[in-house]
């Protein structure tokens, strides 16, 4: 099925642990982004990429790293998890932000840091 | 800070009524997009309107854009219970790189 696949769907981490949230798309999209969603805050942009090898920071990049070695994959790394990073994380991709079909979103990863 | 702000934060209407949600933003944009999110799910793209457009339609959806007021509205006509969801506006900013920034959303409840 074509789309954006995020793994895992749920994760519990202890403070200080590191982990990688996986995101893969099979639509040959150049643009990929990571957002976090917190109650009442909508979606906030963490990092984004405009193509393989090119990434940039969004609104809330601290505590997260990304890399884009292939067009298909855009993993998000939490370096040292903190309770403030408890959130739902969404990965999204598109051919271009100005195309009429917009972003395609994954189903999300619900992360709890204890 | 977030680029888009939706208004109202929550809206409750009867099935068959029209629902109107508004979005204001702060800077110049290339386009504005609306998305829907059903509870606990990923977002689904509804419609995109470019900065040189004033109005677009898609089925029961009507979107307007007023760049002089930096605002947009989403109208859902003849609402259905299945329209119950959160609705988000997102703005595309053409800078040195390309960002899509979301607002906090409007929660719509359609009562059967």
- Token digits for B61? 């959806």
| Cβ <8 Å between A59 and B2 | yes
- Is residue B2's pLDDT more than 80? no
Residues 42-71 of A with CB under 8 A from B: 42-45, 48, 50, 54, 56, 58-59
| Cβ <8 Å between B104 and A59 | no
CB-based contacts of A36, cutoff 8 Å, min separation 6: A43, A44, A46, A60, A85, A87, A88, A89, A90
The model's confidence at residue B56, banded by pLDDT at 50, 70 and 90, is: very high
Q: Best residue in B42, B91, B106, B107 to probe A by mutation, most A CBs within 10 Å?
A: B42
- What is the per-residue pLDDT for B1? 45
Per-residue b or e along B50-59, where b marks 16 or more CB atoms closer than 10 Å to that residue's CB: eeeeeebeee
Percent of chain B with pLDDT over 90: 77
Q: Best residue in A91, A97, A101, A109 to probe B by mutation, most B CBs within 10 Å?
A: A97
- What is the per-residue pLDDT for B8? 87
């Amino acid at each position: 099925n074509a789309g954006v696949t995020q793994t895992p769907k749920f994760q519990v981490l202890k403070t200080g642990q590191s982990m990688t949230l996986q995101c893969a798309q099979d639509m040959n999209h150049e643009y990929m982004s990571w957002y976090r969603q917190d109650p009442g805050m909508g979606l906030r942009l963490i990092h984004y990429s405009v193509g393989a090898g090119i990434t940039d920071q969004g609104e809330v990049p601290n505590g997260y790293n990304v890399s884009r070695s292939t067009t298909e994959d855009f993993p998000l790394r939490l370096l040292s998890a903190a309770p403030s990073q408890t959130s739902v994380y969404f990965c999204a991709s598109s051919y271009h932000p100005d195309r009429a079909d917009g972003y395609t979103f994954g189903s999300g990863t619900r992360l709890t840091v204890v | 800070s977030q680029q888009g702000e939706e208004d109202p934060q929550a809206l409750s209407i009867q099935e068959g009524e029209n629902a109107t949600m508004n979005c204001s933003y702060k800077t110049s944009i290339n386009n504005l997009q609306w998305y829907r999110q059903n509870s606990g799910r990923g977002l689904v793209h509804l419609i995109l309107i470019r900065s040189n457009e004033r109005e677009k339609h898609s089925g029961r959806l009507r979107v307007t854009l007023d760049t002089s007021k930096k605002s947009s509205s989403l109208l859902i006509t003849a609402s259905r219970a299945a329209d119950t969801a959160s609705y988000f506006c997102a703005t595309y900013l053409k800078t040195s790189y390309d960002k899509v920034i979301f607002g906090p959303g409007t929660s719509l409840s359609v009562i059967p």
